[in-house]
Structure 1
Amino acid sequence: MSTTQDSIAFEREVAQLIVEALNLEIAAESVEPEAPLFGDGLGLDSIDVLEISLVVSKKYGVQLRADNQDNTHIFTSLRTLAAHIAQHRSK
């Protein structure tokens, strides 16, 4: 990502992907980039992570593996997830 504007646009794209994949009843714009994806943030669980991993793999070619020791960091927030995808994407 070269600019902050590009990063913000990509975060919105990933937020939209999450909202659609999980059929969340919120607008993608309302997902705070720094808010936790689990617990008090979006309240996602391990099943949701599997769904997100599947759609991310299909759309961006990024494999998010269950045995990756970095998952806690990758799935911290929308911002960390989007940054990881942007860094490793093949599509």
Structure 2
Amino acid sequence: KGARQEYDGFGRLAWRKAARGAAEQFFSYNAEHQLSEVRLSGHRTFSRVQYRYDALGRRTHKILHRHDEPDAEIMTFHWQGLQMVGEQSSRSPDHRVQYLYGEG
């Protein structure tokens, strides 16, 4: 069977199951209608993922909760104006990913 999904009264994705045997995903949103949490049922690695935003609506953190680890992994997103310029994981604090944008 194919993917199935349900939407809430605001038209936001509320539930999704990609295919038979795939994990179910339950979506929650904050007062600004931004994705705040995804709870996963039946996923091998993750139990939930949370998202945090700044006052400008930019996603600043993604918090990954794994079944077999007591501490969550925190992904921090770095911004310059409205462009994301990098990200860093609490699992590899000495490693940073940097985004470079060209003209075009």
TM-score range, shorter chain: under 0.3
Higher relative contact order (CA 8 A, sep 6+): 1
TM-score, normalised to structure 1, is 0.23
More helix by share: 1
More strand by share: 2
TM-score, normalised to structure 2, is 0.21
